[in-house]
Amino acid sequence: MRPPKGRTWAPKGRTPVLQVSCRGHGRVSIAALICAKPGMRTRLIYRTRTYHHRRHEPKGFTVADFQALLQAAHTQLGGPISLVWDSLPEHVSAQMRAWIAARQDWLLVYRFPAYAPELNPAEGVWSNLRTKLFNFTVHGIDELAGLIKSRLKSLQYQPDLLNGFISETGLIVIPEPA
């Protein structure tokens, strides 16, 4: 995850030079859920996975990782989940569909259209995260993963910002009937 160019606090007319010793190997993958429940604060539940280019190491999230994330969200939220999901191959795989079907009592899944990032509130999280990573240099993939986790942790305590990500998409949270 390489952030785009950003502004610096260098003196006017002097181009800042930042030494980076990392060769750029590795990848940090992030999966996140923005959870809204009427009458409760909006939550961000996330998981990260760091890929170091090691043998037999998964490059990204697997179906089992997404299942564990959803199970953890169900446990943490303590109630049924209506999930609005994109069409990532792991989300629509036969294994995931069977897992979802076995949990119909607490998991209801709605799918986004084929390509609709403007409807995905998590895109606001990614955009916000990129702007918070502009002026940092890291010396390894593990340091980048730690920086990402600390920025996501701070987002967890900003429910108004998370609500803004939801409202930006035009999605509406409707209270459940009593």
Question: pLDDT digit string (tens) for 14-60?
Answer: 877 766 665 667 889 999 999 988 788 999 999 999 998 888 988 89
Question: pLDDT digit string (tens) for 99-123?
Answer: 999 999 999 998 888 788 888 888 9
Q: How far apart are CA 33 and CA 56, in angstroms?
A: 27
| pLDDT for res 4 | 62
Tell me how far the alpha carbon of residue 138 is from its chain's centroid. Answer: 21
CA dihedral of 90, 91, 95, 97, whole degrees rounded to 10: -170
Q: How far apart are CA 5 and CA 135, in angstroms?
A: 9
